[in-house]
Amino acid sequence: MNVLITGGAGFIGSHLAEVLLERGDEVFIIDDLSTGSVENIEHLQSHPRFHYTFDTVMNRPIMAELVDRADCIFHLAAAVGVRLIVESPVRTIETNVKGTEIVLDLASKKKKTVIIASTSEVYGKSNAIPFSEDGDLVMGATTKGRWSYACSKALDEFLALAYWKEKQCPTIVVRLFNTVGPRQSGRYGMVIPRLVQQALVGQSLTVYGTGMQSRCFTWVGDVVNALVQLSLHPDSVGEIFNIGSTQEVTIQDLALLIKEMTGSQSDLLYVPYDQAYESGFEDMDRRIPSLGKIQDLIGYKPTIDLTGIVGAVIEYVKQKELAIR
Ligand code: UDP
């Protein structure tokens, strides 16, 4: 198959490209290198079936060519990372909404399959734990920048489902729950690479708020395998799927685990949300996916637990540091 990955030089996109190349596909990626990097795909650049374009998905003529060549499109290009989103709301909304509009419009002309990457953020402040795909989305006020990400992604979901319903363009929506693994950068706020980096260089581990908020972290390898399987399954079209793990951990316990696994002497530094992000910032207390739907369809099951995930990130950060020295 010819496959296009938007955001293919990003953390998840580059892992997906690897899996697709191994499967024998011809892989095309487009990335504007805003949060993705050349480094993420350096090892793939000489592969005869890997083709890259460094440009934005909002460049319609370039996208028209790429979409035309593809049998299937994984649309992962988006503004991501809570820090980035709070700092650049215009960019968040425009990239996430306009980019998806262009991908869907072009794909629908020849009915190409599109997998749209959404996020567990869309559940917002819902406390209907575990979150199931047909549950209500509970957003905060529009004055609070964080929710622009959730709303922009929710709009992407509406659009994707509408393109299937109205124009019979086969679309699949996935909601990713805190994906983690090698190549994820801590620069945009993501907690595990940030705390691992801090622990390894002996800085205080920044725990935002009380540290009692919890998350379920998902191994990137499990996410990309699920994306590939869903893209091949006829019954996934027109549907939404959570992809995640149900191993819940508070951020305070996560920081203690990272401290222990790195053997770091660093202390924990509790930072109030309004200092970490912006005044009035609202976090999500708990975020646990219901995985029944994806389990039933493709037999999805997380393969690596939290300790395994943290261990892999520690190894990655250490190797990266060594490469810099
Ligand atoms: N967080 C933290 N310290 C950091 C970065 C993040 O305590 O240095 C917290 C953040 O407030 C949130 C959780 O860790 O409660 C997960 O944050 P992340 O940005 O990785 O993902 P989110 O779940 O917010 O999308």
In a domain, 310, yes or no: no
Residue 267 forms part of a structural domain: no
CA of 147 to the centre of ligand 1 (A): 15
* pTM over 0.85, yes/no: yes
In whole numbers, what is the pLDDT of the chain averaged over residues? 96
Does 320 map to a domain? no
CA distance 316 to 218: 16
Domain count, the chain: 1
Per-residue pLDDT at 324: 67
Q: How confident is the model at residue 316 (pLDDT cuts 50, 70, 90)?
A: very high
Residue nearest to atom 17 of ligand 1 (CA): 191
Quick check: is 190 in a domain? Answer: no
Looking at residue 325, its pLDDT comes to: 62
**Which residues have a Cβ under 8 Å from the Cβ of 306 and sit 6 or more positions away?**
217, 245, 247, 249, 254, 257
Question: 179 C-alpha to center of ligand 1: Å?
Answer: 12
Instruction: Tell whether ligand 1 has an atom less than 6 A from the beta carbon of residue 251.
Output: yes
Q: Is 208 a catalytic residue?
A: no
The C-alpha angle with vertex 12 and arms to 132 and 196, in degrees rounded to 5, equals 95
Q: Is residue 135 part of a domain?
A: yes
Any domain includes 210: no
**Cβ of residue 208 lying under 6 Å from some atom of ligand 1:** yes
- pLDDT tens readout for residues 169-214: 999 999 999 999 999 988 888 999 999 999 999 999 999 999 999 9
* Proportion of the chain above pLDDT 90, given as a percent: 90
> Can you tell me the distance from the alpha carbon of 9 to that of 40, in angstroms, rounded to the nearest whole number?
6
Whose tokens are 């219901």? That residue is 290
Tokens of 66: 């790429």
279 part of a folded domain: no
Give the structural domain span for 292.
2-181+218-245+286-303
pLDDT digits (tens, 9 = 90+) for 43-94: 999 999 999 999 999 999 999 999 999 999 999 999 887 888 888 889 889 9
Q: What is the CATH number of the domain that holds 161?
A: 3.40.50.720
Q: What is the pLDDT of residue 142?
A: 92
Ligand 1 contacts CB of residue 124 (under 6 A): no
Q: Which residue's CA is the nearest one to ligand 1's atom 18? A: 190
153 lies in some domain: yes
